[in-house]
């Protein structure tokens, strides 16, 4: 699986990069409902700070790990943002969301299929 910019189809995130739920769990790893209404994957996808794609890590380093917007490296359309200053609190009030996020409506999801020829 990969996520591509909806504007120019440039690959932004691959299956090697970890997408997270609001509670910091990998997408698809939630076994049961822990009482939080935000456990569904919503309009925003979060990334784990220590496993950022290189293009995002470069932007975060350039801004000094404070806050800023993420733009596609090819067409420069806005695809997300980051905020290490104030962060965001989960709607359930139990946790702080990861600081780096991508907006689902700004991306297309592509599934890489590998077919073997017989």
Alpha-carbon span 44 to 10, nearest angstrom: 19
Question: What CATH number should be reported for the domain holding residue 24?
Answer: 2.170.150
Residue spans of alpha helices (H) in 1-118: 54-62
Cut 0.85: pTM above it = no
DSSP 75-96: T--EEEEEESSS--B-TTSS-B
Asked if the structure places residue 33 within a domain, the reply is: no
Alpha-carbon span 39 to 41, nearest angstrom: 6
Model pLDDT for residues 49-100, shown as the tens digit of each residue = 888 889 999 999 999 989 999 999 999 999 999 988 877 666 666 666 678 8
Provide the residue range defining the domain that includes 103: 2-28+38-110
Asked if the structure places residue 116 within a domain, the reply is: no
Phi-psi region of 74 (alpha: psi -120 to 50; beta: other; left: phi over 0): alpha
Model pLDDT for residues 15-46, shown as the tens digit of each residue = 766 665 555 554 443 333 444 555 455 677 77
């Amino acid at each position: 699986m990969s996520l591509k910019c909806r504007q120019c189809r440039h690959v932004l995130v691959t299956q090697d990069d970890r997408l997270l739920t609001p509670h910091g769990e990998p997408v698809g790893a939630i076994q049961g409902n822990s009482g939080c209404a935000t456990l569904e994957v919503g309009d925003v996808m979060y990334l784990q700070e220590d496993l950022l794609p290189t293009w995002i890590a470069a932007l975060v380093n350039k801004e000094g790990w404070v806050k800023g917007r993420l733009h596609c490296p090819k067409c420069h359309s806005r695809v997300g943002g980051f905020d290490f200053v104030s962060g965001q609190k989960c709607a359930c009030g139990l946790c702080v969301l990861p600081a780096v996020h991508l907006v689902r409506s700004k991306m297309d999801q592509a599934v890489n299929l590998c077919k073997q020829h017989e």
